[in-house]
Amino acid sequence: MREMKDSGIEWIGEIPADWELSKIGAVYEERNEKVSDVDFQPLSVTKQGVVPQLETAAKTNDGENRKLIRKNDFVINSRSDRRGSCGISEYDGSCSLINTVLKPRRNMCNAYYSFVFRSERFADEFYRWGNGIVDDLWSTKWSNMKRIYIPAPSLQEQHRIADYLDRKCSQIDAIIARQQEVIEKLKAYKLSVITEVVTKGLNPDVPMKDSGIEWIGEIPEHWKIGKLCFFTVRIGDGLHGTPEFDDKGEYYFINGNNLGATYITIKENTKTVGLSEYNKYFIALDENTLLISLNGTIGSVSQYHGEQIILGKSAGYIILDSRRDLTLDYLRFYLQSKSVKTLFELSFAGTTINNLSLETLRNLPVCIMTSEEQLQISKILDKKCLEIESTIQKKQMLIECLAAYKKSLIYEVVTGKKEV
């Protein structure tokens, strides 16, 4: 076992006895040349590395005010809300001024230091040297970054570590990619199961008829088609505006991004309001209510379970009339079907922003059968979807474990705690 010593630097911890430390400024120099994105292709600095500018990247009219990047430069986003966005560029190009562009000095392995900079603990240290722009948002300038200590093994060991981590991380990434492919196939299978059952029923031998609606196709002969509004008390959406938020409030402000699971999902960034705002924007919902996302991940559905909430404009609600022949559980699955998603997508034609309109919801054709048959369908789908979701969850847990192992491996190896 190799002899270790205390590095004296908290984020690094122990390093091999024959390793040294170096400041980043001794390994890299800043490249701070202003260029135009007309002369140098615009690049994006992402968690996947430096890539040709993404369509989703924020654009400015100031294309003349960008930083030059040369092939093999290391680029890192200086802002803490872009944590982990860095990498070695394979291109000559340009990037936004918020990024720090580093030119490698001689006698160093750029790939090794790229792994150092991608480690979780380095990211913590990097942003610790930053200055606050606003609360919870820091930017680390080169004048501070260059003073950060990093490990400095021999050049030979740097290359050996980089080759090892390239190989191991590629293996881990390949396993993760395969698991993600399986998850996507399981999601597609779940969608096909739901669609088949809610539009064709459980009996494959029952006589069929044309529904008269192209995206539904044939339905069992004894079924009917009716507009959703005929089976509801009310269909509406939430507040078209911004309430007065209260960090100590007890009532959640729910939008479309909180919907999709059986229950409403409360996230870390879900805002709250106080009693006065709750009373001002209160909507009377009951146990026969489904909530549906009207933009973003459109059509995501959650059942209302009496939560004390107010709704934003991207959260729609459907309150069923209990006297009508449409059950909540059946409608929950019906809204998740591929057929309904197809209709929603068709309704966006000619619009610049994809929003599901209340008119589309109210006029949505729904397959109607007896309450008993709806109950059977719901029970079968509950069981089948639970099995599929359980398998998906196991795959997701495996991906999380692999990602955590990869992070740990990178740190252990680049600091010499694990010998390769």
Q: What CATH number is attached to the domain comprising 126? A: 3.90.220.20
Residues 131 and 249 both lie in one domain: no
Q: Which tokens hold the place of 44?
A: 């994006």
Residues 137 and 230 both lie in one domain: no
Q: Is the pLDDT confidence value at 63 over 70?
A: no
**Residue 297 pLDDT class (50, 70, 90 cuts):** confident
Residues 148 and 230 both lie in one domain: no
Compute the CA torsion angle 319, 325, 330, 334 (nearest 10 deg).
Answer: -80
User: Which tens digits make up the pLDDT trace of 223-233?
Assistant: 999 999 999 99
pLDDT for residue 351: 67
Mean pLDDT value across the chain: 93
Residues 262 and 141 both lie in one domain: no
Contacts of 366 (CB under 8 A, 6+ apart): 225, 226, 227, 228, 231, 326, 331, 334
pLDDT for residue 26: 96
In a domain, 334, yes or no: yes
**Residue 172 pLDDT class (50, 70, 90 cuts):** very high
* Percent with pLDDT over 90 in the chain: 85
Q: Is the pLDDT confidence value at 136 over 80?
A: no
Residues 133 and 237 both lie in one domain: no
Residues 57 and 93: beta-carbon distance below 8 Å: no
**60 vs 284: CA distance, rounded Å:** 44
In a domain, 92, yes or no: yes
Integer angstrom CA distances of residue 393 from 87, 101, 292, 331: 31, 39, 23, 24
Mean pLDDT of 210-233: 95
**257 vs 259: CA distance, rounded Å:** 5
State the Rg of the chain over Cα.
28
Q: What angle do CA 410, 412, 414 make, to 5 degrees?
A: 65
Residues 32 and 149 both lie in one domain: yes
Residues 143 and 133: beta-carbon distance below 8 Å: no
Residues 253 and 363 both lie in one domain: yes
Mean pLDDT of 372-401: 97
**301 vs 292: CA distance, rounded Å:** 5
User: Which of 153, 182, 205 is where one domain is finished?
Assistant: 153
Phi/psi for 253 (5° steps) reads -95, 110
pLDDT for residue 222: 96
Q: Is the pLDDT confidence value at 133 over 90?
A: no
In a domain, 397, yes or no: no
**373 vs 369: CA distance, rounded Å:** 6
User: Which of 121, 153, 185 is where one domain is finished?
Assistant: 153
* Helical ranges in 97-200 per DSSP H: 110-118, 120-128, 142-145, 155-200
Number of domains in the chain: 2
Residues 246 and 355 both lie in one domain: yes
**Residue 350 pLDDT class (50, 70, 90 cuts):** low
**Residue 80 pLDDT class (50, 70, 90 cuts):** confident
**309 vs 323: CA distance, rounded Å:** 26
In a domain, 326, yes or no: yes
**391 vs 384: CA distance, rounded Å:** 11
In a domain, 373, yes or no: no
In a domain, 382, yes or no: no
Q: Which tokens hold the place of 10?
A: 């908290």
User: Which of 98, 120, 153 is where one domain is finished?
Assistant: 153
> Which residue has 């009496």 as its token pair?
306
pLDDT for residue 64: 73
In a domain, 162, yes or no: no
> Which residue has 């495996």 as its token pair?
398
Mean pLDDT of 14-23: 97
Whole-prediction pTM? 0.84
Q: Is the pLDDT confidence value at 394 over 90?
A: yes
Q: Is the pLDDT confidence value at 9 over 80?
A: yes
**Residue 56 pLDDT class (50, 70, 90 cuts):** low
Provide the residue range defining the domain that includes 93. Answer: 4-153
CA–centroid distance for 225 within its chain: 37
372: β partners: none
* Helical ranges in 221-290 per DSSP H: 275-281
Mean pLDDT of 26-30: 97
Stretch among 130-134, 234-238, 370-374 having the lowest mean pLDDT: 130-134
Class of residue 123 by CB neighbours under 10 A (exposed 0-12, middle 13-18, buried 19+): middle
Give me the amino acid identity at 321.
D
Residues 10 and 144 both lie in one domain: yes
Residues 124 and 263 both lie in one domain: no
In a domain, 76, yes or no: yes
Residues 137 and 268 both lie in one domain: no
Residue of 347 and 86 predicted with greater confidence: 86
Strand, coil or helix: 250: coil
Q: Is the pLDDT confidence value at 17 over 70?
A: yes
pLDDT for residue 182: 98
Residues 139 and 233 both lie in one domain: no
pLDDT for residue 58: 57
**Residue 62 pLDDT class (50, 70, 90 cuts):** low
